[in-house]
Structure 1
Amino acid sequence: MYDRGLSVLEQYGLESNAVYRTRGALVCETGQGRVLIKEFGGTPRKLECQALLLSDISGKSQVLTDEILPNLEGGYMSLDKENVPYIVKRWYEGRECDTRCEEDICTGAAALASLHKVMKMPVQEHYVRESLSQEYRRHNAELRKIRKFVSAKKKKNDFELQFLDSIQCFLQHGETALDRLESSGYEKLREHALGEGTVCHGEYNQHNVWILKDHEHAAVTNFDKWSFDVQVADLYQFMRKIMEKYDWDRKLGEKLLETYEEIRPLSKEEREYLSIRFSYPEKYWKLANYYYTHNKAWISEKNVEKLKKITSQHDKWRNFSEKTGM
């Protein structure tokens, strides 16, 4: 199993001195530095755009990235002996951002701001993210559909009973967020972002922020879900997961915002957008959608606990979302 994908290194003129596993990939020590070998399941076209974006970033920001290396023929995807496609990335020695460490998460916010200042490229329609208005309309419709489904069940489990007790409140928050979004300056903000060609990471979380061994640099990895969008979407995704872990601690939230804005100040419109994003019950929708799209005959106790936590955090979440953006 250790050999899986390793044979592609010869297509890069590289030879492995040592190899070990990491999440879904192999890390290899070579004479030209550390690299990561990962099976590739995307499209060659988007991969090439991603490679060009990361190459461009490397000369403009102090934040390091897992650049995609070209093979000896100039391609970014290589087939192993069994015709399985792989990519090879530059990799670093360090550790994932620790969400229990305030310094680490502030480093993550600062790294994101630095990247956002340089992540731009000519817009390609294929990779423009769906409008947030469309996304919220779809999610709200899904919540109503799930409510109808659960209401019609004769025998309801604990999760379903808790869901029915809470759905009206959270759905109202979803509808209000959509109304706010449609009456805000979001569409102009989005038009400006697309006009500038601003790029989002798409999956900016603690797992993709690495604190390097020298403690002086950070590296950001896994840009596979990049898209053209309002960049504050990345900041929202990063902060939301942190805030959930910290029970919506306002002081920490303010510190993360201040850290980001020391490098890339937010406009009034971006702050309004961020406030609206935090006011939408995204975690609640995700849990309800997971329930609806998976086996309903057995609901894990973990999901029941997740729903309890979301409802118990309601007031702190609402207080945080109402203050964000002011």
Structure 2
Amino acid sequence: MGGVAVNDRGISVLEQYPLKVFQTYRGRGAIICETDQGLKLLKEYQGSKPKGKFIHELLQNLKQEGNIWVDDFVENKEGEIFSIHRDDTVYVLKDWFPGRECDVKSSGDILAASRQLAYLHNSINQCKIEIPEFMQTEESEFLDECIRHQRELKRVRNFIRERNRKTEFELFFLKSFEELYQRGEEVISTLSIRKQNNELSNASVLRICHGECNQHNFWFCDNQIVITNFDRCMIDYQSVDLYHFMRKILEKYNWNYELGTAILSAYQKERKLEEEEKENLYFRFYYPEKFWKVANHYFNSRKVWVSERSIEKLRGVLLQNDAVLGFLNQMIQKM
């Protein structure tokens, strides 16, 4: 689903909605609208319509049955969530809220967001909603993802090896490649054995996930926390959401063990992770995803010049490597 900025001409689609617009202004990569029915957010829609309709049904369930605050779609005068501009661009209008996003400098915000994520998962699991066939899966796709990433890492390494004059980034990459690549191989080896033994096929543990869980999608509004941007919702271990949230936070705190434990405890006070979810969480932390991301960005951009920011990101991955492993060793004992 799209998060692209809306061209101002798209404002005319607001005429298709049963509301009165007082003012519009840009924000959150879209257009925020002050209306007689509260704040709304207008943006282009570039995703699958069937998935959009499924997300709408899910969010309606969460609001009605789970008392979870979410940025649901607003239906137009025809009862549809998609509105077509005269230039054929598709737009959606969503509920929006006055407030602020989760402050990563505030441990109170971080722990409150972790608890809210657990509430969300509990509410999702109680929803009586039929999963459409295009969303269904029999097992986590994490193994296939790791295999693909490992293949891409080798391609980057081979490319750099063949370069005569290597940049600082490329020298850093080659120096760190073997250790981090082997960590990925360990994950693949373990998960492959489990797959052969049918230990990865417990589909009952795979449930609806938010899909893009980070501090930007927890919106603090009065005494409520609104969870936003379900565009990438998927079926997987729900520990995937916890992983994405924790990784984004802990990278900023050099994998501080006390904070990581507090985040995990805040979540598990509201929802206990199942054993398969704990294992999935561990393997996701152990796999060097950030190393792959930095390398992939390098390979898909101009390689004749690497920005200082990319060098700093890679340097940060290497500097935090021992901290990640130390965090994982302690986390195992607490889970």
SS of residue paired to 2:124? coil
Q: Does structure 2 conserve the Cα–Cα contact (< 8 Å) formed by 1:67 and 1:89?
A: yes
Match of 1:245 among 247, 252, 260: 252
Q: Distance in 1 between matches of 2:234 and 2:296?
A: 23
Match of 2:217 among 208, 232, 255: 208
Q: Does structure 1 conserve the Cα–Cα contact (< 8 Å) formed by 2:237 and 2:280?
A: no
Q: Distance in 2 between matches of 1:50 and 1:287?
A: 31
Q: CA distance change for structure 1 residues 242 and 20 in 2, over 3 Å: closer, same or farther? A: same
Q: Distance in 1 between matches of 2:7 and 2:174?
A: 49
Structure 1 residues 58-73: aligned runs within 5 Å: 58-73=63-78
Letter in 2 for 1:187: L
Q: Distance in 2 between matches of 1:281 and 1:125?
A: 32
SS of residue paired to 1:324? helix
Match of 1:193 among 199, 205, 212: 205
Q: Distance in 1 between matches of 2:294 and 2:233?
A: 24
Q: Distance in 1 between matches of 2:7 and 2:57?
A: 30
Q: Deviations over 1:43-86 (max 9, x none)?
A: 21111111111111112333310001111111110012433211
Which has the larger displacement, 129-138 or 314-323? 129-138
Unaligned runs of 5+ in 2: 1-5
SS of residue paired to 1:65? coil
Q: CA distance change for structure 1 residues 46 and 173 in 2, over 3 Å: closer, same or farther? A: same
Which has the larger displacement, 34-43 or 232-241? 34-43
Shift of 1:90: 0.8
Number of residue pairs matched? 320
Q: Does structure 2 conserve the Cα–Cα contact (< 8 Å) formed by 1:271 and 1:324?
A: no
Q: Distance in 1 between matches of 2:220 and 2:72?
A: 17
Match of 1:127 among 135, 144, 152: 135
Q: Deviations over 1:171-215 (max 9, x none)?
A: 0111112223334586144x1234xxx211111111111011x2x
SS of residue paired to 2:296? helix
Alignment pair present for 1:28 and 2:33: yes
Unaligned runs of 5+ in 1: none
Match of 2:147 among 137, 141, 146: 137
Structure 1 residues 228-243: aligned runs within 5 Å: 228-243=235-250
Alignment pair present for 1:308 and 2:315: yes
Shift of 1:143: 1.1
- Structure 2 equivalent of residue 10 of structure 1: 15
Alignment pair present for 1:159 and 2:169: yes
Q: Distance in 2 between matches of 1:290 and 1:128?
A: 30
Q: Distance in 1 between matches of 2:117 and 2:102?
A: 13
Letter in 1 for 2:10: G
Q: Distance in 2 between matches of 1:305 and 1:250?
A: 23
Percent sequence identity over matched residues?
39
Q: Distance in 2 between matches of 1:124 and 1:323?
A: 39
Which has the larger displacement, 46-55 or 82-91? 82-91
Compute the TM-score of the two structures, normalised by the length of structure 1.
0.93
Q: Does structure 1 conserve the Cα–Cα contact (< 8 Å) formed by 2:102 and 2:220?
A: yes
Q: CA distance change for structure 1 residues 303 and 160 in 2, over 3 Å: closer, same or farther? A: same
Q: Distance in 2 between matches of 1:24 and 1:169?
A: 39
Q: Distance in 2 between matches of 1:2 and 1:150?
A: 41
Compute the TM-score of the two structures, normalised by the length of structure 2.
0.91
